Amino acid sequence: MKKSLLYLTLTVLILFGCNTGREITIPPAPQIELDSETGVYTVKAGKTICITPIVTYAEDALYTWTVGNNIVSREKELNFTAGQPGSVYVTLKVTNEHGTDSEDLRIDVLALAPPVISLAVPDSGFSIAPDSLLILKPLISNSKKATCLWKVDSVAVANTLEYVFSSAVLGTFSVALECENEDGKDGISFSISVIRPIVDEPGEEDPGEENPDDDEPGDDEPGDDEPGDDNPGDEDPGTEDPGNDGPGDEQPDYFRPVTSSSRTEWDIIHLYLPAPGQFINETVTGGFQGENTQEKANLYAANRLRSGLFISLGGFGGSLVLGFDHSIVNDGSYNLEIKGNAHKNSSEPGIVWVMRDENGNGKPDDTWYELKGSEYGKTGTISCYEVTYYRPRAAGQPVQWTDNAGKSGTIDYLGSFHNQDTYYPLWITSDSYTLEGTGLEARNYLSTTNTWINPAYEWGYADNHNSALFRISDAVTRSGESANLPYIDFVKIQTGVNAKSGWIGELSTEICSVKDYNMVKTE
């Protein structure tokens, strides 16, 4: 602009410099003033925006609006219909015979923001007793200007964000919620069964059989052993040294001694099944590449660990199961080394479980034994703690969970740090999945200096500051007795806390390496 004015003035001076005594008016070049102070316009996808700059000295001027190398308009105004969300860079040039002015501008196309309803509904709907209250409290994003309508058996009952259902009448009711704003609408429907509660027979305290294996989607291994409390094959294993002697005499023993080709590190990833979390599916620091099957997820975990990079187990219950190419002997001292990324004030403890390949099939389908740590047996520690995670119904949403203690919450979506579409593992095909394990009491808190502190536990947990070594002799049965395992073949590490620390997000165990410490000791 300034330059062209200068040239113009110079030209005029040269041309008419001697023409004294005559009055000259110099027609100036055009001057553009955008109708946006920042030069940035926003429009929602699919909508049209009209950009109307004020151009002075624009008589007989030519307008060109270009995007990239394409001229999109020669009009005085630009009518722009937005396509996909993103930024479009536009240049406006206005030229007349006296010069040219040009301005860059940007049109930010925003995604539509229709409401998205999230409600943790059990697979077969809700079941309640007559006259009891069921508080339905869905998470609704973009709910600010939305109108909502609840219907029970097609009859409108409320237009609030929450609804309390109750019925004196027995039966199954179909409940629907629909929310709408100017960008679109969303709806869910589910059933509520009002049934008479079954009165427990006295003395039947322990409900059903317990299954210590996780509900692992995609892991439909046939012939899962019925895991008893104690394994009869494990009588007095401590009296033998499996490193020298052969197998026991009663049961076949599949002990695999260390050979010259044995690896100190784990050999096979059997199952990588994280809970939802900020690093799950994340491409930048998490290093995921759209893994959408369990096999690919296992391979991801293997490649990450082989490269010395961390893998995250996500929130509570997320786990990694791996095997060694030899059996790891219980010598009463430390036998396993598991490294995470804990440091002072940042511990995200994982429970370590071990398994002996009792049936010798090379698969982790026998009994898991927990390695007790400092929290074992304490009142705040819950065994058989179950958390169910629900797939978000749209991108950028938190993951809802419910637990078997009647609590619910979310794994928060932290878009400014980890903006992958979803924190729910892409390879989990079901819309919800349940993880079971031992839950530790959370210790995290917000300090007076406004930083989140995740303190360490005393001993016995993975990704816990200053504790990376584990003893097989700490293995306990479900009933709390010492498991007396002579050796183990498989290791499982599982996030042990269901908690979150503000903007840092959920507590999730991270694993960097898993080694046979017996071999490290002799190296």
Partner 1 sequence: MIKPFSITAWVCLFLCLPACMKYGPSAEEEFDVSGKGLFIINEGNFMYGNASLSYYVPGTGKTENEVFLRANGINLGDVAQSMQLYDGKGYIVVNNSGVIFVIDPVTFKVTGTITGLISPRYIHFISKNKAYVTDLYAEKITVIDPLACRITGNIPVKGHPSTEQMVRYGNKVFVSCWSYDNMILVINSETDQLTDSILVASQPSALQIDCNGKIWCASAGTLYRINASSHEIEKTFPLSGDGLFSRLCLNGARDTLYYVNKSVWRMDVSADRLPVKPFIEYDRELVYGLAVDPVTSQVYTADAVDYVQQGVVYRFSPQAVPIDTLRTGINPGAFCFK
Q: Which range in 98-106, 117-125, 317-325, 433-441 contacts partner 1 by CB under 8 A?
A: 98-106
User: How far apart (Å, rounded) are the C-alpha atoms in residues 81 and 83?
Assistant: 7
Q: Which is nearer to partner 1, 420 or 467 (CB)?
A: 420
Site for partner 1 in 125-144 (CB under 8 A): none
Asked whether the beta carbons of 509 and 280 are under 8 A apart, the reply is: no
Give one word for 460, left, alpha or beta, with left for phi > 0 and alpha for psi -120 to 50: left
Q: Which is nearer to partner 1, 5 or 158 (CB)?
A: 5
CB neighbour class for 132 (10 Å; exposed up to 12, middle 13-18, buried from 19): exposed
Q: Which is nearer to partner 1, 19 or 450 (CB)?
A: 450
Asked whether the beta carbons of 486 and 475 are under 8 A apart, the reply is: no
Q: Which is nearer to partner 1, 188 or 309 (CB)?
A: 309
Q: Which is nearer to partner 1, 42 or 189 (CB)?
A: 42
Give min distance, CB of 442 to partner 1, in A. Answer: 23
In three-state secondary structure terms, 362 is coil
Give min distance, CB of 468 to partner 1, in A. Answer: 16
Give one word for 112, left, alpha or beta, with left for phi > 0 and alpha for psi -120 to 50: beta
Q: Could you tell me which residues are beta bridge partners of residue 453? A: 445
Q: Which range in 266-274, 315-323, 340-348, 426-434 contacts partner 1 by CB under 8 A?
A: 340-348
Give min distance, CB of 173 to partner 1, in A. Answer: 42
447 contributes a contact to partner 1 by CB under 8 A: no
CB atoms under 10 Å from CB of 168, counted, come to 7
Instruction: Give backbone dihedrals phi and psi of 508, rounded to 5 degrees, phi first.
Output: -140, 130
Of the candidates 44, 76, 93, 106, which one interacts with partner 1 according to CB under 8 A? 106
Cα-Cα end-to-end distance for the chain:
74
Asked whether the beta carbons of 236 and 485 are under 8 A apart, the reply is: no
Of the candidates 11, 15, 33, 39, which one interacts with partner 1 according to CB under 8 A? 39
Q: Which is nearer to partner 1, 259 or 449 (CB)?
A: 449
Q: Could you tell me which residues are beta bridge partners of residue 150? A: 158, 177
Q: Which is nearer to partner 1, 145 or 344 (CB)?
A: 344
80 contributes a contact to partner 1 by CB under 8 A: no
244 contributes a contact to partner 1 by CB under 8 A: no
Asked whether the beta carbons of 411 and 275 are under 8 A apart, the reply is: yes
Q: Which range in 59-67, 216-224, 267-275, 278-286 contacts partner 1 by CB under 8 A?
A: 278-286
Contact string 279-318 vs partner 1 (x = CB under 8 A)? ----xxx-----------------------xx--------
User: How far apart (Å, rounded) are the C-alpha atoms in residues 497 and 212?
Assistant: 18
Number of residues binding to partner 1, judged by CB under 8 A: 18
Q: Which is nearer to partner 1, 86 or 257 (CB)?
A: 86
Amino acid at 284: V
Of the candidates 343, 377, 395, 430, which one interacts with partner 1 according to CB under 8 A? 343
Asked whether the beta carbons of 173 and 194 are under 8 A apart, the reply is: yes
Of the candidates 3, 22, 25, 37, which one interacts with partner 1 according to CB under 8 A? 37
User: How far apart (Å, rounded) are the C-alpha atoms in residues 311 and 314?
Assistant: 9
Q: Which range in 103-111, 116-124, 151-159, 473-481 contacts partner 1 by CB under 8 A?
A: 103-111
Give min distance, CB of 416 to partner 1, in A. Answer: 6
DSSP 272-309: EEPPS-TTTT-SSSS------SHHHHHHHHHHHHHTT-
Of the candidates 40, 129, 195, 405, which one interacts with partner 1 according to CB under 8 A? 40
Asked whether the beta carbons of 463 and 348 are under 8 A apart, the reply is: yes
263 contributes a contact to partner 1 by CB under 8 A: no
Q: List the Cα angle 335/441/297 in 5-degree steps.
A: 60
Of the candidates 38, 124, 154, 244, which one interacts with partner 1 according to CB under 8 A? 38
Q: Which is nearer to partner 1, 37 or 204 (CB)?
A: 37
User: How far apart (Å, rounded) are the C-alpha atoms in residues 37 and 142?
Assistant: 28
Give min distance, CB of 65 to partner 1, in A. Answer: 14
521 contributes a contact to partner 1 by CB under 8 A: no
Of the candidates 33, 35, 77, 104, which one interacts with partner 1 according to CB under 8 A? 104
Binding footprint of partner 1 on the chain (CB under 8 A): 37-40, 89, 104-106, 283-285, 309-310, 341, 343-344, 416, 419
